[in-house]
Structures are given as C-alpha cells and as structure tokens.
Structure 1
Amino acid sequence: MTILAIDTSNYVLGVALLEDNQVLGEYITNLKKNHSVRIMPAIQTLMKDCERLPADLTKIVVAEGPGSYTGVRIGVTVAKTLAWTLNIPLVGISSLEILAAGTGRYFDGYVSPIFDARRGQVYTALYQYQNSKLAAVKKDQLVMLADWAEELQEMDKPILFVGNDLPIHQAKIDEILGEKAIYASKLEHNPRPAELAGLGQDKPGEDLHSFVPNYIRLAEAEAKWLEAKGKILNG
C-alpha cells in the first residue's frame, strides 16, 4: 500500500508518502504563501524523489479541516481530484487530530491542539492516547479560548497544548490553568504529513461525491452574505 498524504489546512503545507509502514518521504513548509500554486509541484517533487508514479498510489489521505477556509478547500479539492482520476480511496482526517498525534504519544495526560480563529476564538479539541491509539475525548469545535481553558480545569490530568498559534493565547491559558498547562516543544508545532498518512492508513475510503471539508464555521465573507440575505428576505 502506497499512501499520499496532503495537508494545506493552515500555513503549513505538507505532503508525505507512506508505503508498507515506512515513511518514504515528507515535504513540509510553514510559510504564508499560496498553497494553490505550490501544492502540485510539492507532490510532483516528492513522488519523483521517491521514485513513485501516480499509478503506484493506493490511497489518498487529506487534512479535512478545520483551519484556513481557502487552505482546507485547496487540499480537499486536490485530494478528491487525484482520488477520482486514479480511482483509489480517499480518507479525510481532522487537521487537529494530526497535530495531536505528533505530540501526545508519550504524554501522560490530554492533548489540546490549537488553531487561532480570531477574536479570542480557537479551533480545538481534546485527545488522549489510549492503548497506543489516539482517541478524541472532546470533539473538534470552535470556542472562545477563555471558555475552553475554564472547561479544561475540570480534567483530571495535565493538558499538553500544541500549535503554531499558541503565542497568541498562552498568557490567557496560563492565567486560567496555571501549572496544569504544558506546552509542546517549538519543534512539534508543525503537523507532520506522515502522521496524517498513518492516521488514515487503516480507515475505509469515503464517498467522493459527498465528501466535503469540515470548516466548522462558514467563511466570514459567506457568513456576512447569508446574514445580509436574511435581512433582505425578512424585510
């Protein structure tokens, strides 16, 4: 089995090839650049360097969100197109789960990955490794960071926070959780596409026609358009 993993759900762009439980290669950048221009060359470079052809692929695994509206859409569109063209299964994995998978494996507690969602809000969830497998304790959600930290006060173990957006929220986390909050190393904040491939390795393919990104919330422009439309319809 040769799996191609694709993640463009945030500033980090990552692609990986996983074959028979071996990571053949990874390409990762954390740059504020146009993913739509860079994703296909990244895939092509990785495939060429690993001496694999599109026909060798047996599954596509993609980060389905939440995250950047545009970034999530780009990754999912590319993944669906490749899966459809090659007639191979497509699997979607939470972008938050990918981040948690890379940090919590040897941590005796919970993992809370954080993506900033502006205005004091974050995309987050709570995960824990149970019997060597990552399990969701609290589902992916959009929440005020302060409310989330208050909720985590009730947990019975320390919380490991991870994510490139932590500096925006760390002061508030410290204020509410104190020593209960642990922070991942700066080397762990980029989600690894190889982790993404591993998470989707044994999952069944999804229906390509109905598969859509998990934005959790509408893009701001779309939300404003719907709000304005509602006002017009309601007089």
Structure 2
Amino acid sequence: MALIHNNLKDLQKENSISIKTIRSDQNRNEVTRMIQYLSSSHLSLFQIEVIQKDLIGIALEADREQMTMSEKLGISMKEFCDGIIQSTEEYPARRERIYQEVVTAVQYLFYLYAIEYIIFQSVPAHWGISIQLTVGLLVFLTLNRMTSLYIRNRLSLHPKAYMRSMYNVAMLAGFIIYVLITRLFLRHIHTLLFYGNGWLILSVLAFMALIATFSMNRYWNNCSQKYNY
C-alpha cells in the first residue's frame, strides 16, 4: 500500500480544502502568491506544502483578527518568503523537480499514446510513437516548466497585476505555437519514431508509467518523514 499511497498528494489535498476556509479573498490570494514564490526556490516541494499549511493557519488567525497577511506577519510577504529561503538549508530541489518531470513525461507519454492509438487510429495491429505525439509531449513539458517556474511563480509577488497575469498569456501563446507546429508543419508527416505491435507498446508504456508513479510515491513518502506536520 505504501507504493500506492502518496503523502504529498494527501497534504496538497488537505491544503486545497483548508485554503478555501480563509474568508478574506485578499488573504487567500496572498497565501497562494507566497507559495508560488517559494516554489521557485531551492525548497523541497514537500517542505513548501508544509509551509503552506502553516501559512493557512496564520491567514485564518488574520481573518479572526480582521487583519491582512502582511499586517499579521509584520513584514512584507516577499521579505517573509526570502527569510524562509535564506534560513533553510540548501536542498537539491532542481534534481527533485527533474525527477518529477521525468515521471510526468513517462505518464503523459502513456496517456497521449493511448489517446492517439485507441481513439484517433482505431487500434491498428501495428502502430508506434509518432512525431506529432513526441512534439506534443515536448511542448507540454516545456510549457509546464517555463510557465510554472519562471513565469507564474517568480512573478507571483510582483506588485503589478498585469505582470502576475503573464502566466495565462504564456500558456495561450504556447498552445497557439503547438497548434501551428502540428497543423502547418507536421500535418503531412506520418513518420513513426518507434514501430511495432500497438497493444504491446501500450502495455510497455503502461508498465513504465506504473513503475514511475510507484517510484515517485515512495520518494514523497520518505520525504514526509523529515517533517512534523
């Protein structure tokens, strides 16, 4: 059961429910922005969720006292977040995020192949991994990396609202680029990068996605033992 269970997802679910109990829209948004900012640092993803749980508690106290988060903290949100980052021991967050992105890539490769093979190709006897599928996967991973880390998170505490909205602009631009590439340049290209028995390839990808998921679950469960939350 330990491989199926994911303590990080449990904590994320708990936080997603708890944050809705913050009555003040301002305080709720400020907690979200602080977590996004912390997500661009060297902190572990699990530690960030633990911090979010604490910040939600502070926001609820601020609600009861009719204060804003900044008033409750006594300093600006950015100063508070930078203080946490500077006081925390360096953690191999880059390696952790790469590990997670590899797992995500394997999972989405299976999902995209299953959709393409079963729905769009009507289950031919032989099929493989197409160029369109590979481009779609690469575009998704690149967008996810760039928009979440370099755009949404690092601009989350920017004082100007239009700068904080650049995440949505980047996602829309990325989608348009993907459509242009696949429809205009790859529309007539049907080359398969890997070819074989369609069901066998689907089974292998499913097995890989399962192993990757179990491995990630085990990693997060081990991480959870480091924190008292």
TM-score class normalised by the smaller sequence: under 0.3
| TM-score, normalised via structure 1 length | 0.26
Higher relative contact order (CA 8 A, sep 6+): 2
Larger relative helix fraction: 2
Higher percent of residues as strand: 1
